[in-house]
A and B are shown apart, each in its own frame.
Chain A
């Protein structure tokens, strides 16, 4: 993990060095609010929880997280700084993790800034704070999953737009793999075990389980191993691709 900390600090500071970070945070907060209060009928439901807020998060992340992740490696390759980074005394793992953790920390900051929602429900009623906290933990884990995918894809190409589009598509597949639409398609011909396998890759299934307030080890392991897998792939791709211009 040589070099992880300096890379983490540089990357995280980098988000706030340009207006992009602030724009992102504002968009995230505004959309969260719109989805939650307007589409989610937050008030009409008359329940003191953040369920409508969390319900739309996979769809919000689907576009916003690839937007954060697309530049992670594509930009390094485009500007040639990857040659600099890879000839500094840093390990591949340190570089991959440092970048990922900085981007994840940035998402965590954006997510933490939604705290007024929590305050609102706490003011309006008596929410189960444990369930809300579980929701935030689940949300952060899910964001990590999307981000690991986006980071890996961004190492495949120098072009950030391509990185974005491909990452959105892959994230979409992971998002909807548990949805009836997808399962019906496979149900026609695939055996039940395959159906179960497909739906077990769904972010939404695992995320909803956590949002319900049940933090099951299996859901945590799912997101952790998903992140681990994509970061490993990320390292392999960086190593393979760094030389090709």
Chain B
């Protein structure tokens, strides 16, 4: 399978600032790649180069086998793009605007009507089609931008913060739509909502200061969290203090920390599973357990750690 998006050694400089610093990756059909990263990391800049808006300082981008530098129009035909902030002509109504996009995309007649109906219905724009975009709420503006991006059923979708400003129902809808479309497209989204990565992305890429600092499935990223395979348990009042001391001595347990809500979180040494030995000890001592669960890992924790290097490490010394 050839990659739908292929990026090699991409660099973008704005004067002295290196916004994108030697990024290489590829995206295959069926993949949903999530860009994560702090503000100013270079996510939008990368997307602008893939879609042909910005010219890279150096590096190569191929989309569906066409080089963006050589045949930008062929690339733009195959890409649906929601720019950051979802810009749209404010004086137009969504109806006129989407019709214009369809014309530019070369959709005609029945095909055009069908695609318009689908996008409008799927994105939930029916009620606002005749209102000028200027007067739409932020979420509806974003929806108009989304409808614009998926209108021509493109092979490649680049969505810069697609759910920003949407209400929870619509967020859910859009995530569903992305997952549904993922099957035969290559999709790149950027987001600051980490749960979205779990919900829709098959792969997550963390970018910081213009470089890729992590790239893997959401599960792989979560595995880098100190919460990965940690066990959280709640004991009946009174038992907690003694249990904490005993649990901390258990083999494979690196640290025990109260989580602030009456629960204890047990961090494993080197991320190895500890549920079995914890369960055994609990049974042996006959502690009254109200709740016990294994943590998968926390993306926000991983995110903080790899983008700042400042996530708290388990306090090895105090516990053992």
Contact = CB atoms under 8 A, between A and B. Distances in A.
Real binding pair: yes
Interface of A: 2-3, 5-7, 9-10, 13-14, 17-18, 79-81, 83-84, 86-91, 242-243
Most B CB atoms within 10 A — which of A14, A80, A81, A83?
A83
Given A3-B104, A10-B103, A81-B89, 11 more contacts: A2-B73, A6-B103, A7-B104, A10-B100, A14-B89, A14-B91, A14-B92, A79-B89, A87-B76, A87-B81, A243-B48
A80 B53 CA distance: 12
Chain B interface SS verdict (over half): loop
B100 A84 contact: no
B279 interface: no
A87 B83 contact: yes
Task: Name A's interface SS.
Answer: helix
Contacts of A3: 104
B88 A84 contact: yes
A83 B44 CA distance: 12
A91 to B, nearest CB: 6
Nearest to A239: B55
B211 to A, nearest CB: 21
A83 B87 contact: yes
Interface in B76-110: 76-77, 79, 81, 83, 85, 87-92, 96, 100-101, 103-106
Nearest to A10: B100
A89 B88 contact: no
Interface in B31-64: 48, 51-55
Contacts of B85: 80
A17 B92 contact: yes
Interface string B258-281: 000000000000000000000000
B84 to A, nearest CB: 8
**When A and B form their complex, which 8 residue pairs have the shortest distance between CB atoms, in order from nearest?**
A80-B87, A6-B103, A89-B76, A87-B51, A89-B77, A83-B83, A6-B104, A81-B87
Contacts of A84: 81, 83, 87-88, 148
A10 B92 CA distance: 9
Interface of B: 48, 51-55, 73, 76-77, 79, 81, 83, 85, 87-92, 96, 100-101, 103-106, 148
A68 B87 CA distance: 22
Nearest to A5: B103
User: Residue among A2, A6, A13 with the most chain B CB within 10 A?
Assistant: A6
11 contacts: A6-B104, A9-B103, A10-B100, A13-B96, A17-B91, A79-B87, A81-B88, A84-B87, A88-B104, A89-B104, A90-B104
A148 B28 CA distance: 45
Contacts of A88: 76, 101, 104-105
B217 to A, nearest CB: 29
Nearest to A91: B73
Contacts of A2: 73
B79 A87 contact: yes
Nearest to B152: A89
Given A86-B53, A87-B51, A87-B81, A79 B90 contact: yes
Contacts of B55: 243
Given A10-B100, A81-B87, A83-B83, A89 B105 contact: yes
Contact of B52 (A10, A18, A81, A86): A86
A98 to B, nearest CB: 10
Contacts of A83: 48, 53, 83, 87
A243 B88 contact: no
Contacts of B87: 79-81, 83-84
A149 B76 CA distance: 29
Contacts of A13: 96
A2 B48 CA distance: 21
Contacts of B88: 81, 84
Nearest to A92: B72
**Residue of B53, B77, B85 with most chain A CB atoms under a 10 A cut-off:** B53
Contacts of A17: 91-92
B73, B83, B89 — which one has the most chain A CB atoms within 10 A of its CB? B89
Contacts of B73: 2, 89-91
Contacts of B105: 88-89
A41 B96 CA distance: 47
Given A79-B89, A80-B85, A87 B52 contact: yes
